[in-house]
Chains A and B, each alone.
Chain A
Amino acid sequence: MTTASPMPDPQDLLPLTPAVFHILLALADGEKHGYAIMQEVDEATDGAVRMGPGTLYGSLDRMLKNALIEEAAQRADPTTDDKRRRYYRLSDFGRKLLSAETARLTQAVRRAKAKRILSPA
């Protein structure tokens, strides 16, 4: 009989690195391939977070191993006519982790506002 590995508490894995956080966020609304993730992160952060191919695929590799994301079926990008690409999607655990990190950041922003570091929205 095999016993499943215990799922770690997301709180134990916080804070996430910027690369991991932005990749999880990019995958929150559906499956994407590497180039699409890179583009979304670049646009969403106005170029503040620019991942090179090594950083991106190194992070994806570790996230796959840690079950934060899953690999979807390879297929061609419908918006381009080039070859098949590898797609990634968020796992349930990855979604929980993203939610926990977002809550942590929200709390930090709330405290910064309370101390008038940031002007209230």
Chain B
Amino acid sequence: MSQPGPVHRFSKAEAIYAGLLELYPADFRQAYSEEMLHLFSENWERVESASFAYRFQYSSRMLADWVLTMGREWFSATRSWEFTLGSVSLVYSGAFYLVSRDFVSVINALFISFFALLARFVLLSRPRVPLLNLVLRAIALGAGANFLTARMYPSHSTESSYVLWSDPTNLWSTSGGTIAFVTAAIVLGMSDFHYRRHFGLKQTLTAHAHCGWVNRVLYNLCICLGLWNLIHHQYVLAGISLTFLIYALSDRLFRLWIQPTPHYVPEPRTFD
């Protein structure tokens, strides 16, 4: 009968780091979190007996490493328009309202952004629970009841144009821009479900970057519509187009400069 090995008791720092590792994307976490924790523990054994200043410096470095790499791993795990657009639009919405000095609206915008992303993720990951989807999406859109914040509701700004609950007249607005946005939103939603059904969640979330030519066309259409609004002095809607353009640029910058290495994966070996 084998004897159980010695039990390793986590220090507080190790327990905190183990908790932080849980926030990496699932694939990355499953592949590396055990080794990362192991590596952290080995370093921490040496650092633990050092001065407070050194421990503080080391902890700060580990924290910075976690913040930077977690964001990067999430970005490369999803590499989707929605998630990146979400993060860009969080900054954009915040900046917009800071300029207008309406701090309550800043919080509203961030709150709505968060629920919008959550709603879409749940919608895609749990398509067989329609009631839950409905509730979450209602919360997300309901949070956008305020006219301005609904307009700034970023990741699904296309949808917000026809779910402006505080201004029901907009629901049936017949302006060319609104109709086009509504159409784009409906087709985008349908394409999401199509991808989810045929390719699974991960492929759906990366579809925009890899194989979603339909979505690419639609998003480009949204950019054009945003520009159309700019020409017609509808500045809030034009602002949404700016968000799309910022993302489009950042997507290309990411591919060309930040991660220049192509995804070269050798063919699997076959044995006759």
Which residues of chain A are near B65, meaning CB under 8 Å?
51-55
Which residues 50-109 of A have a CB within 8 angstroms of B? 50-58, 60-62, 65-67, 82-83, 85-86, 93
Residue of A nearest to B28 (CB): A61
Contact status of A52 and B62, CB under 8 A, knowing A5-B265, A7-B264, A58-B69: yes
Residues of B215-272 at the interface with A, using a CB-CB cut-off of 8 Å, are 259-267, 270
Size of the B side of the interface (Cβ < 8 Å), in residues, is: 32
Once A61-B28, A86-B35 are accepted as A-B contacts, the answer to whether A53 and B265 lie under 8 Å apart by CB is: no
Shortest Cβ distance from residue B3 to the other chain A in the assembled complex, whole angstroms: 15
User: A38 at the A/B interface (Cβ < 8 Å)?
Assistant: yes
B36, B64, B68, B70, most chain A CB atoms within 10 A: B36
Question: With A8-B262, A13-B260, A55-B65 as given contacts, are A85 and B35 in contact (CB-CB < 8 Å)?
Answer: yes
Indicate which residue in A52, A60, A61, A67 contacts B264 across the interface (CB closer than 8 Å): A67
Partner of B265, one of A33, A65, A82: A65
Q: Could you say which residues of chain A place their CB within 8 Å of the CB of B260?
A: 12-13
**Min CB distance, A98 to chain B, in Å?**
14
Residues on A with beta carbons closer than 8 Å to the beta carbon of B111: none
Mostly, the B contact residues are helix
Q: Separation in Å of the B64 CB from the closest CB of chain A?
A: 8
Q: Contacts A54-B70, A55-B65: A5 and B36 contacting too (C-beta < 8 A)? A: no
Question: Contacts A54-B70, A61-B31, A66-B262; is A2 near B61 (CB within 8 Å)?
Answer: no
**A55 close to B69 (CB less than 8 A):** yes
Max count, chain A CB within 10 A of own CB: residue among B36, B39, B267, B270: B39
Neighbouring B residues of A13 by C-beta, 8 Å: 260-262
Which residue on chain A has the smallest CB distance to residue B27?
Answer: A61
14 contacts between A and B (CB under 8 A): A4-B266, A8-B262, A12-B262, A13-B260, A34-B39, A38-B39, A52-B64, A57-B28, A57-B36, A61-B31, A62-B76, A66-B265, A67-B264, A67-B265
